[in-house]
């Protein structure tokens, strides 16, 4: 069972000061909790620098040397939960970015994207959440050696 990085009440305090959070406001408490859990799960799938504070802890945060989950990780969880409540599908976003052309009646759109944005590729459909997570991520060009 996933324990989200923050409670619905704590997330509500974040959204009380945020514009354009209608999807959060209109959701039931059950769906808010599900969105926070899903966001936490997606965040936990990323590769972070360092190691968890305690071996075997359920979530990636807090990290070693920390006693609490950083505010920016909690905020990233909120931002990601909001996007999920808006029914954004990462797989659909990837397909949309990879499309070369779309036609709807007499309107045609052509894309020339040969790449997928890094936050979408990593399963985080919120650029705001991604910006808050970036400082904690492991450098993708680094190599980790494990003594076996």
Could you tell me the pTM of the whole model? 0.81
pLDDT at 94: 57
In three-state secondary structure terms, 4 is coil
pLDDT at 29: 98
Give the pLDDT confidence of 91-126 residue by residue, as tens digits.
Answer: 666 566 555 666 677 777 666 556 667 887 788 989
Determine the Cα–Cα distance for residues 125 and 116; give it in Å rounded to an integer.
11
Residue 71 has pLDDT above 90, yes or no: yes
Tokens at 71, concatenated: 């505010």
Question: What is the tally of helices (H) and strands (E) in the chain?
Answer: 7, 2
Give the pLDDT confidence of 27-64 residue by residue, as tens digits.
Answer: 999 999 999 999 999 999 999 999 999 999 999 999 99
């Amino acid at each position: 069972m996933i324990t989200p990085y923050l409670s619905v009440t704590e997330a509500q305090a974040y959204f009380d000061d945020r514009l354009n959070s209608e999807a959060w406001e209109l959701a039931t408490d059950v769906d808010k909790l599900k969105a926070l859990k899903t966001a936490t799960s997606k965040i936990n799938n990323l590769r972070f620098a360092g190691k968890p504070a305690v071996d075997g802890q359920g979530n990636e945060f807090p990290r070693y040397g920390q006693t609490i989950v950083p505010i920016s990780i909690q905020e990233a969880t909120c931002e990601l939960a909001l996007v999920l409540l808006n029914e954004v599908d990462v797989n659909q976003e990837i397909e949309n970015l990879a499309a070369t052309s779309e036609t709807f009646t007499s309107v045609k759109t052509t894309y020339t994207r040969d790449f997928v944005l890094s936050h979408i590729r990593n399963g985080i459909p919120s650029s705001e959440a991604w910006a808050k997570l970036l400082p904690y991520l492991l450098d993708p060009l680094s190599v980790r050696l494990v003594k076996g």
